[in-house]
Chain A
Amino acid sequence: MENIMQYITAGNIIFFILAAATLLFGILTVTSTRILRAATYLFFTLFSIAGLYLQMSYDFLAAVQLSVYAGGVVILIVFAILLIKGLGEEKEINKGDRKIMGIVAAIMGALVCVSFIAKCGFTNSELAEQIAEQVNMHMIGSTLMGTEKYQYLLPFEASSILLLACIVGSIVIAQKNKEVKK
């Protein structure tokens, strides 16, 4: 009994609440038959994951998770859904081939998770906090913009070109009708 009691700390309780929320909303995301509800549940999943990052004292990643995934990606998804017609109807989602592909994807994802856990194991949270405290904003900034070994200026710039290409491409697609008129 005493062994169990020593694991009931505030940190652990919060972790289990967040983990349960992540799993619950994750399951709801894939089982919901209404697409906008699925997007909302995805939003909550990403939000709980941000909470997990916060618990590991990795504040920067938590804020990035909130602004990029929860704030950016989900809002874009919702926005795109709002432009589509006939949303409210319930749709059947799992048909034939998709079911098989879904199962394959799930197995692959599980394998990745298991191999990570097998390789790294669970470290105690104090160690994780110590590591996270060393990673401050200045370090992230200089690593992202540096040209030395283990610094990422080239991938950073390459990804900006990729994004520029995406923007130009989307403008071209949006202007398609005007060109036809000419």
Chain B
Amino acid sequence: MLGYTLKRLLTLIPTLLVASILIFLFVHLIPGDPASILLGDSATPEEIASLSAHMGLDRPLWQQYLVWFKNVLHGDFGQSIFFKTPVLEVIADGAETSICLALMTMFWIVLIGIPVGIVSASFHGSWVDQITSGGAMLLASIPTFWLGLYLILIFSVGLGWFPSSGFPSISDEGGLSNLRYLILPSLTLAAPNAALIVRLVRASMLDVSREDHVRTARAKGLHPARVSIKHVFRNALIAVAAAFGFTFAALVSEAVVTETVFSLPGIGRLVVQSILRRDYPVIQGVILLIVLLYLVINLLVDLAYARLDPRVSLQ
């Protein structure tokens, strides 16, 4: 297990190298340049050219890449062109919001997706199943931004239960109760993903329930609920665990929309704004970190997979 983990961590290096090249190229393919955006409409071409030279943007792309890559290896992601502060600090500012949002979203996905999936499978074919499966289908189809706006309309504007936008740090006054700012955004983000988990749990449980070993469990005289959880759900979990890797990928892209709708100071909104500002170092830094996070999460999913299924051996 440990050896496998180390080997997998080593294979992250070439993947990250390729990813860094792609990210760098794509970011520089975006039309428009930072200097003209920084200086505004009234700037003369000479001013733009001199600022570009000052920022090193006039050098060939491969040279720029090598300089950036060398600095990244030293843990220096450069300075934000817009904020004039180190990129890592800019990212750290958004990280608290994004991490809290992600954790809370995962919490809803697990809390809603798994039990509802189990109920749906246990009563499959009945009206309970019709309602839960239909509801899940509906939630999976609703666009995130639309759901977010309607939640704001109902629970913030209408009922006044939750704030509609922003997120003061939990280290600020109010402490953990500031998490209420994230309830609507996390529900928005969780809805389509929880719906997918519901359908996946249901489908895998129905698959497993047809297997011979479930009949053996029933022949032992176990209570149906015990058969359902210990023998059907436990085995279905193997397929569900694999889906969490994909769910994370979906979360990253949907978070961009959700953070924008709820004006959250998170990393998703930071990426969008940085692209609009052509803040190359920030875009590159954030995307590289997301790639790293994605790879690590998939490694964790594989490790979980081996824990859940003794037939899988990690080599």
The yes or no verdict on A and B being binding partners is: no
